[in-house]
Structure 1
Amino acid sequence: MHATKRQLFLFSRQSLTDRLFHASKVKKSFTLNRLTMQLEKLNFDNLALRTLPLDKETGNRQRKVEGACFSLTSPTPVDNPTVVAVSEEALSLIDIKSASDAYTDANFADYFSGNRILPGSQTAAHCYCGHQFGHFSGQLGDGCAMYLGEIVNGKKERWEIQLKGAGKTPYSRHSDGRKVLRSTIREFLCSEAMHHLGVPTTRAGSCITSDSKVIRDLKYDGNQKLEKCTVLLRIAPTFLRFGSFEIFKPLDSVTGREGSSVGRKDVLDDLLNYTIKVFYPQIWREVSDGEEREAMLLEFYEEVLRRTAKLVAKWQCIGWCHGVLNTDNMSILGITIDYGPYGFMDSFDPGFICNSSDDGGRYSYEAQPEICRWNCLKLGEAIQMSLPLEKSKPSIKVFDEEYDKAYSHGMRQKLGLMSELDGDLDIISSLFSTMFETGCDFTNGFRAITNLLPPGLPCFKQSKEEFLSSILRQCASLEEMLAKYKPRINPMQLDFFQQLIEQQPEIAGALQSQLTIVQVEMKRQKKLESFKKMSADGKAAADRKCWSDWLDKYIQRLQQEQGEDVKAWSSRRKEIMEQHNPSIVLRNYIAQEVIEMAEEGDFSGVRNLLEVLKSPYGTNKATDESTEKETTPHASNHPVTSGTCTLHSRYTKRPPASAAGLVVS
């Protein structure tokens, strides 16, 4: 059933009445100022709700939703909403030009915490399904996110806005629909950081906390505590995802679950038409069923493959790990969505796992390209009622080709290789082997390579020695390597599984997930034993030899492409490398520092860090300031509060050893 104008009007009117009633009980003076005037004149055009089928039932009752893409629902108010931080750049996308007033405008906090409804907004939750950790989970949906509507800005760009953490929806299942301060700050900062790194992403407009609290167990170890409910404003052209199309999936033979709208080809066609017409207009054409329509759908599917391949290639090139690459966390536009237990690598490790809940390493750094490819195949299966599998499946080669091209191009840019030669992949591969063996910091390692002068310039020999000194400072100490590889499985259990693998492989094969964990642990054990045989001086000498050997290969490669004007070539090479090797990324330990400050009531760290993250590839303008910003009462405990200048200088250093102990889930 498609939405009627009366259905939408009545729901919107009811929601607004409810919110205004709540607002009347909160003793605040809603002064009409320039920001409020902009908020109340936003140009809403809620095309998705007018076009796609809506749930017949409204309200937040948990239920299976059949034959619909959205359910009209209402946010749940919070007590005393308070602005933690805003991104003025992100808010400008929806024509909010006075975002700096958000810290003093009570209306802003109420509108973007869910306490009041913006004029023209129609609140709803999106229905989708998904494969989680490789298994089909059936109906999922927006369990804590809420569509507020779509805004067409002055440039005629369409932006969907969402509140994340605004309370229960029909898809909340057993959760409370809330997000807390720590997770919301992480998503707010990383959304903006990724944008400034040049990675396609959803944007974050505001982070608003409150005095309302929910119980959380961070490490799932029984240590529960009350945490503040916090709401994030998310902005994107659309939040449609692969899982949006999995509501049509037939019964899964493994999990026994099916999509909530199984067999509804009419709804699938509505969703495909809307997605292509609005977000892929270059592909859209009015065609009837048949070969011509299938050709259009195939063109659309292949473009999704290309965008997804390019996206994951960018992740790999900046050393970033998503953490939860389920199909319901994959954007249909090829942008990064749903920031949960993500992580930027510190020391390079191809098996880097940022999500402490990912015991088997399904979503490790090195696994991301293959997982994204697998998810793309699942998307093809999801739309097979309209585009037969025999036509979509062969197109997976488009993903492979696009990924290889994007990844190799990105890595050449990071290494300043301006031409493409046969041995380049070996240079890249040997670099990562060297980084792994020495425990070299990923971000700072590439930045050190950026500062190396090529042969042919007067200071080359001096630069070579300076590079070796610099890169060795980015390598892990012997103590750090011993700590990294310390056993994570009881030795007796490991011995048991080793014997099982050797003596009864048929039984071991049936325990695939446990077997994977054991195999990883066995490799770690071998690394640990090798480091136990080393001394600190021995490791330092081995590290120097590893880097000297790689450097010789790299220099030979550079000599193959430098022309007669070495100075001009070197300058251009350095410029390209500086544009693709950030000095600043959102490391977990820095995020944790500002989270701890915010939990104490000091939001300056979040705001300062946001400013630093805006200039990841060069010197932040804040470092040129002759005076630092005024410190806060917490400055002695948190150096980050002494201003963006201090933060920038600290942030480019190798992270402390304690950073490796942070747990994110």
Structure 2
Amino acid sequence: MDLPRLHFDNAFVRELPGDPETGPRVRQVAGAVWSRVMPTPVQAPTLLAHSREVAEELGFTPGQLASPAFAEVFGGNTLLPGMDPVASNYGGHQFGHWAGQLGDGRAISLGECITAAGGRRELQLKGAGMTPYSRSADGRAVLRSSIREFLCSEAMHHLGVPTTRALSLVSTGEAVVRDMFYDGHPAPEPGAIVCRVAPSFLRFGHFELPYAAGDLELLRRLADFCIWRDFPHLLGARAAEPLDALRRAGAFDETRYGDWFEEVCVRTARTVAHWMRVGFVHGVLNTDNMSILGLTIDYGPYGWIDDFDPDWTPNTTDAQGRRYRFGWQPRVAHWNLSRLAQALSPLFGDVAPLQAGLDRYVEAWQAAEREVVAGKLGLARCRDGDLALMERLQALMQSAQVDMAIWFRALAELDPAQPSLTPMADGFYDASLREAHAADLEQWLRDYALRLRDDPLDAAARRARMRASNPKYVLRNYLAQQAIDQAAAGDPSGIADLLEVMRRPYDEQPGREAHAAKRPDWARSRAGCSMLSCSS
């Protein structure tokens, strides 16, 4: 069956300077933001799973998805007309230290597709083979990490969190050797490729690299391009004009750059607030993993909070310092934005607009945090004292080892006239800790019930607000691991089954209650369910 003829407008390649050398030879690339490189063909590409919403947006029918031709394209064996594969060049701060050139080490962008609705969607294969930026790895990805990225990209979208998307998950029919925990025990694992989809994959690190190299002309060109392609509303009626014409006319000035940076800061704050709302821990918030659009990007050693713990990180590499732990995500995002501000500083005669953008991050984060608190507690709005009320609860939840998702979902069923721990009974991981903290938790519930009596929302409106803010289903680590184990044994059906649950995370979904259960004891310390590495 023929695949649809997609319309590609590869502006990134057309408008920005590229590497004169082609091919995957690992090298330092100067003065360029992309390098042409073809995906490395695989032995037996087979479609394991897909997102029907993303497929429909791009124009693929169910029959086309099932055809061998689809797996050939999105397994990296062939190209559709208009595709122009490149790997992107960027740098970044990793764990607080400048790491120099990084780039797409295992991701290859096929091109920028214009959808029937007029949207721009860049299609990127992760695990498609060597690139000039592959460094010590081989450009491939393993099945376990690919399943996790595919599922989480879509789960986050359905939770309402800004994110990159995933079109497809294709097995390669080849093994990839990985040392999962960098402990000297490499082993072959099944290989796979995810097709990631986003309006843009530009990262903070794209701007840091030319700044570090002193290439201010490239920095300016990249900033102008980003505003023109990814933030066209900042150009108003002139957004449809060619980029070169706008540059010659002086359309990009300090005011424009300042407005752009401020919007990046606000978008970032709102996305981080969503992470905190649903209990998501990114795990590796380096600046090269921060999207300029404020999307959640690069699903590596991420995790989901089970028992509430602001100090938890899923990343084995971060186990000692815990720089990227759950509770630190808002401040790390601010630090990363400060690095972006530094990179953009040559575009400004004065640092005041950059400081204003960082101040807007703080304001936007505080406003978003208050909205999160109001939603999770079912309040019309967050008043003075409500943040402290939430902080008290979170401290008790941490001490009593209470499941975050179960507690807040069940809290909607609380009877303010007779506040009791009964609705939240399934959320405790340790009976002795529940008993030890029961009195304090019950006092908190009484104080919360008193606050509800002073709120204008009636019981039905409160419950609806809480259910819209507190998901019943999140992609718990052990659920993803079960799907991985099943697929590794030759049955990929668990991927689609789990994705179907995650498509409606705020609905009750009778018969699927097991997917909302707290982490089982066997998953407390099992690899893939508690701690993960950056290995993929």
Larger mean CA deviation between 651-660 and 338-347 belongs to 651-660
Q: Please show how residues 18-417 of structure 1 align to structure 2 within 5 Å.
A: 33=1, 36-38=2-4, 41-96=5-60, 98-99=61-62, 101-103=64-66, 105-250=67-212, 262-284=213-235, 286=246, 293-358=253-318, 359-388=320-349, 390-395=351-356, 396-417=358-379
Kept after mapping to 2: 8 A contact 1:582/1:616: yes
Question: 2 CA distance for matches of 1:383 and 1:608?
Answer: 45
1:483 alignment counterpart: none
Question: 1 CA distance for matches of 2:249 and 2:259?
Answer: 15
2:430 alignment counterpart: 477
1:656 alignment counterpart: 520
- Deviation for aligned residue 1:221: 1.9
User: 1:519-547 deviations in whole A, cap 9, x for unaligned?
Assistant: xxxxxxxxxxxxxxxxx3xx443232122
Partner-residue secondary structure (3-state), 2:71: helix
1:558 alignment counterpart: 452
Larger mean CA deviation between 217-226 and 316-325 belongs to 217-226
Kept after mapping to 1: 8 A contact 2:284/2:315: yes
1:442 alignment counterpart: 404
Partner-residue secondary structure (3-state), 2:24: coil
Number of aligned residue pairs: give it.
Answer: 518
- Deviation for aligned residue 1:263: 2.2
- Deviation for aligned residue 1:214: 1.7
Kept after mapping to 2: 8 A contact 1:381/1:389: no
Selected match of 1:614 from 503, 506, 522? 503
Question: 2 CA distance for matches of 1:330 and 1:617?
Answer: 27
Aligned letter for 2:310? P
Kept after mapping to 2: 8 A contact 1:131/1:137: yes
Question: 2 CA distance for matches of 1:605 and 1:651?
Answer: 12
Larger mean CA deviation between 179-188 and 379-388 belongs to 379-388
- Deviation for aligned residue 1:159: 0.7
Question: 2 CA distance for matches of 1:428 and 1:608?
Answer: 35
Aligned letter for 1:295? T
Residues 237, 581 of structure 1: alpha-carbon distance in 2 compared, 3 angstrom cutoff: same
Residues 291, 279 of structure 1: alpha-carbon distance in 2 compared, 3 angstrom cutoff: closer
- Deviation for aligned residue 1:169: 0.4
Aligned letter for 1:447? R
Aligned letter for 2:338? L
1:605 alignment counterpart: 494
Question: 1 CA distance for matches of 2:62 and 2:289?
Answer: 29
Residues 289, 364 of structure 1: alpha-carbon distance in 2 compared, 3 angstrom cutoff: farther
Residues 214, 389 of structure 1: alpha-carbon distance in 2 compared, 3 angstrom cutoff: farther
- Deviation for aligned residue 1:472: 3.4
- Deviation for aligned residue 1:217: 1.1
Question: 1 CA distance for matches of 2:348 and 2:412?
Answer: 47
User: 1:320-346 deviations in whole A, cap 9, x for unaligned?
Assistant: 100000000000000000000001100
User: 1:143-188 deviations in whole A, cap 9, x for unaligned?
Assistant: 0000100111111111111000000001101210000000000000
Question: 2 CA distance for matches of 1:540 and 1:188?
Answer: 36
Partner-residue secondary structure (3-state), 2:256: helix
Kept after mapping to 2: 8 A contact 1:320/1:365: yes
Question: 1 CA distance for matches of 2:300 and 2:315?
Answer: 9
User: 1:178-221 deviations in whole A, cap 9, x for unaligned?
Assistant: 00000000000000000000000000000001221121111222
Asked which structure has the greater RCO (Cα within 8 Å, sep 6+), the reply is 2
**Structure 1: gaps of 5 or more residues:** 1-32, 251-261, 456-460, 479-535, 564-568, 624-644
Aligned letter for 1:577? M
Kept after mapping to 1: 8 A contact 2:3/2:64: no
Partner-residue secondary structure (3-state), 2:28: coil
Q: Does 1:547 align with 2:436?
A: no
Larger mean CA deviation between 345-354 and 85-94 belongs to 85-94
User: 1:6-53 deviations in whole A, cap 9, x for unaligned?
Assistant: xxxxxxxxxxxxxxxxxxxxxxxxxxx2xx331xx0111111111111
Partner-residue secondary structure (3-state), 2:310: coil
User: Normalising to structure 2: TM-score of the pair?
Assistant: 0.94
Partner-residue secondary structure (3-state), 1:249: helix
Aligned letter for 1:596? D
- Deviation for aligned residue 1:388: 4.4
Question: 2 CA distance for matches of 1:164 and 1:601?
Answer: 22
Question: 1 CA distance for matches of 2:334 and 2:96?
Answer: 13
Aligned letter for 1:86? H
- Deviation for aligned residue 1:392: 3.9
Aligned letter for 1:550? W
- Deviation for aligned residue 1:427: 1.1
Q: Please show how residues 463-474 of structure 1 align to structure 2 within 5 Å.
A: 464-465=419-420, 468-474=421-427
Structure of greater Rg:
1
Aligned letter for 1:68? A
User: Normalising to structure 1: TM-score of the pair?
Assistant: 0.76
Question: 2 CA distance for matches of 1:596 and 1:301?
Answer: 43
Partner-residue secondary structure (3-state), 1:76: coil
Question: 2 CA distance for matches of 1:57 and 1:69?
Answer: 12
